[in-house]
Amino acid sequence: MTQFDLSRRHLLGMGLGGISAMAFGARGLHAQTTQVALQLSWLHSVQFAGSYIADERGFWADRGLSVRLDAGGPNAPVEPPVVSGTALVGISAADYTAAAVQQGAPFRIIGVAMQNNPFAIASLPANPVNEPKDLEGKRIGMPLANMPVLRTLCTLNGVDIERIEVIPTQYDAAPLVAGEVDCLLCWSTDLPVAMFVRGIESVTMLMADFGYTLHSQTYIATDDSLAGRRADLVALMAGEVQGWEAYRADLDAATDLTLARFPDAGLDRPTQIEQARRQVPLMFSDLTDANGFGWWTDDTVAQNIETLALLGMPVEAALWDRSILEEVHG
């Protein structure tokens, strides 16, 4: 358990080509299917549509895997199933993984789905927050558990946090729309989307654009799995790569698949397609275009380490292990 707001955290193709694809295909044809689980960080939605595509289109089956997609939730944290081996891989975030490692968990980050952290400051056009300095003199609505996030943003940008009035709120756009606060600390893919589908225009200041560098929707595995189940990890991540590239190529199809798979989840198409659209710039960049989905560099790790230190979670660069992705991307 960490100091961050669990309710926020949980609220919500590229082929391998050539010889590598032939090798994986051969495994899918001739090897016995291996059963594994991927632990998601929250309830089913388009947030995980790349994984649904990987399953639906046989990207895992072609590599000899049958992957069970386990939903998360407020009472279903990611880390315990991965530690126990119930799940081979979990979808987490750098801050949660760092906190778990500090408590002795044997985790490594083996892939980064969201290159840019989705934390944002949402405001209305009549009283916008376009940059961190604009927060001074404003009333911000947020769960108090997220104070370390706000404090870190202020430290990174020379903002006087004492000049910001923090008003405890539930995770809802209503206080902003009603004028009870001037802005909200939220994810760029949910409360701004909720306002958008209601026809309410908002201004979204992505914190990643102002130094808050923290990998999100990260894939974690244990040291034991990296040592003893590398082939399964490579196969799982290769399927994820294909699934998310297919997602990027056709957001409508990804959204339709999500709605078809979970008809009783209370999902509506306008919200899901807009969330899908807003996820793309968080997940894909020049870096992933050059190196492949899930990639990171030593420089981005160094920036993550700086942000984590400000959050009170010092880690070493060894927390990130790129060897699985190196095999996937060849």
pLDDT bucket at 310, cuts 50 / 70 / 90: very high
- Determine the 3-state secondary structure of 109 from DSSP: strand
pLDDT-wise least confident of 14-23, 70-79, 189-198, 250-259: 14-23
pLDDT at res. 40: 98
Mean pLDDT of 5-19: 32
pLDDT-wise least confident of 71-75, 84-88, 314-318: 71-75
Condensed to tens digits (0 to 9), the pLDDT of residues 61-76 reads 999 999 999 999 888 8
8 A C-beta contact, residue 123 and residue 182: yes
What gap in Å lies between CA 175 and CA 170, rounded to an integer? 9
Query: Does residue 35 carry a pLDDT above 90?
Result: yes
Instruction: Sketch the domain layout of the chain as residue ranges.
Output: 6-116+214-329, 119-210
Share the mean pLDDT of the chain: 91
pLDDT at res. 19: 26
What gap in Å lies between CA 113 and CA 124, rounded to an integer? 29
May I ask the CATH class of domain 6-116+214-329?
alpha beta
Domains 6-116+214-329 and 119-210 fall in the same CATH topology: yes
Condensed to tens digits (0 to 9), the pLDDT of residues 239-282 reads 999 999 999 999 999 999 999 999 999 999 999 999 999 999 99
Q: Does the domain at residues 119-210 carry the CATH identifier 3.40.190.10?
A: yes
Burial annotation 243-265 (CB, 10 A radius, 16+ → b, else e) = bbbbbbeebeebbbbbbeebeee
